[in-house]
Amino acid sequence: MEFEGAVPLHLRRLLHLRSSAAPPHESGAKGEQHQNRLRPHARFPGHTYRKPDPGPDLKFSFKIELADGTTIIANMTDKPYKSGSVKIAPHAFIKKNSSLPERKMKKYKSFLTRHEGNPIFAPEDFPFCKADQVFNPGQVMTPDGRTILLLSVVPRTGGGARCHVAESTDGVNFTIREKPLFSTENSAFPEFDGHPIDCRVTYFPEEDCYYIIRPGNGRDVGPVALLYRTKDFITAEPIEIVSLPTNRVPCLFPEKINGQYVRLDRPYNCATATYAASMAHIWLSRSPDLIHWGEHRLVLRRGVVPWGSDKLGPTPPIKTEKGWLEIFHGVQNCFSSWRYSIGAALLDLENPEKVIGVMKSYLLTPEAEYEFHGVVPDTVFTTGAVVDWKSRTLRIYYGAADTSIGLAQGNIDEIVDGCLNGI
């Protein structure tokens, strides 16, 4: 079917032409009857036009009045199969009843609200090179209230991904440092540093420093985890490779528990063709020195929430009065794509392998245009969250479609109660 003229796409989809009578050379019907063998039908959007049997060239006009008061008036030409088209003439027009209010899709109440300026970082706004992706930031609050982001940046001209530090005093307006904190040049782990992105950052008050764990992508061996320490985000001291393949996302708790360092892991089988067979669950492990890890315990299985049926991934936990708040992502096979959403769980303060609550609904799922369209469509993904304890506001800086960065925020107490109540 081919349409011409000022007919919007959503009305073109509503226009459905069906055959209601056989052509005259088969049925013996008169020309007047043949004119009715194509009839407009606007009750079944999305149906395709089924071309009737060939007949003589005919011209006719029709009028459709839709439920919202819109009127379509057009002259049409029906031609034999050799043209294979039904055309709305250029002078077809639509009369819109503007007195009726526009209907908007209803949405459930969300625990998080997207910032009105989203995306707060976009590739075209990156000042130091042409970029195709500015996404998936590591995030942490400093003791003096500044917000630090480690932006994952993929330049358009090549040269490998890099991580740039962005700093803000209000959580919205950031200054980006030109020199990357991590890049493929002069890496301490050159065999495993082909794509530095997705930093997980934890402030450790006992040692007054920040630990950064990020994926190390080694050729032919699968991703490992690289551990760094910094005090100023100007330089980062490399410590060690702290996980075997395939475990790219360990996330450190911000304090020792029972005298040990504790982290959440997501080991998985990346060789499988499907997420469903990847065994991508969230585990917990302990260490005396940040290097040697053991005492592994399963914490959250994929499928613990319906929107995380295929894969889960952790972020650094946040200590609250009622438990460790764990913000995690979940992946669901939606057949047209893998949909990444963000949710929350609550872990016991003394025994964090014990789950005391899981929010069954997601905190955030792709709904905005910039979350649907990009390098990895249908994706909201976070490597962490920060809290403004004065206002009790949880802020999540998340990657949108692996292309830009959005900000969503909500009340941390409501989210913790949502976990306990299984909302």
pLDDT in the model for residue 221: 82
Residue 407's pLDDT band (boundaries 50, 70, 90)? very high
pLDDT in the model for residue 92: 42
pLDDT in the model for residue 107: 62
Position with higher pLDDT, 16 vs 155: 155
Window from 5-14, 239-248, 342-351, 403-412 with minimum mean pLDDT: 5-14
- % of the chain beyond a pLDDT of 90: 65
Whole-angstrom distance, CA of residue 111 vs CA of residue 52? 52
| CATH architecture label of 113-421 | 5 Propeller (2.115)
pLDDT in the model for residue 61: 59
Q: Read off φ and ψ for residue 98, nearest 5 degrees.
A: -80, -5
pLDDT in the model for residue 274: 65
∠ CA 366-369-370, rounded to 5° = 85
Position with higher pLDDT, 293 vs 31: 293
- Tell me how long the chain is: 423
Average pLDDT of the segment spanning 10-27: 39
Cβ–Cβ < 8 Å for 356, 348: yes
Q: What is the mean pLDDT of the chain?
A: 82
Amino acid in position 394: L
pLDDT in the model for residue 75: 55
Average pLDDT of the segment spanning 358-372: 97
Whole-angstrom distance, CA of residue 373 vs CA of residue 416? 31
131-159 pLDDT, tens digit per residue, is: 999 999 999 999 999 999 999 999 999 88
78-135 pLDDT, tens digit per residue, is: 443 333 333 333 444 444 455 555 556 556 678 999 999 999 999 999 999 999 999 9
Rg (CA), the chain: 28
- % of the chain beyond a pLDDT of 70: 73
**What is the full DSSP assignment across 302-319?**
TTSSGGGSSEEE----EE
288-304 pLDDT, tens digit per residue, is: 999 999 999 999 999 99
**pLDDT of residue 223 exceeding 80:** yes
Average pLDDT of the segment spanning 393-413: 98
What are the sequence ranges of the domains in the chain?
9-95, 113-421
Q: Which residues, 6 or more positions from 122, have their beta carbon under 8 angstroms from its beta carbon?
A: 134, 370, 403, 404, 405
37-66 pLDDT, tens digit per residue, is: 333 333 334 433 344 444 454 455 556 666
Whole-angstrom distance, CA of residue 309 vs CA of residue 402? 21
Alpha-carbon torsion, ordered 312, 314, 317, 321, to 10 deg: 0
**What is the full DSSP assignment across 341-387?**
EEEEEEE-SS-TTSEEEE-SS-SB-S-SHHHHSSSSSSBEE-S--EE
pLDDT in the model for residue 108: 67
**From its phi and psi, is residue 13 left (phi > 0), alpha (psi between -120 and 50) or beta?**
alpha
pLDDT in the model for residue 137: 98
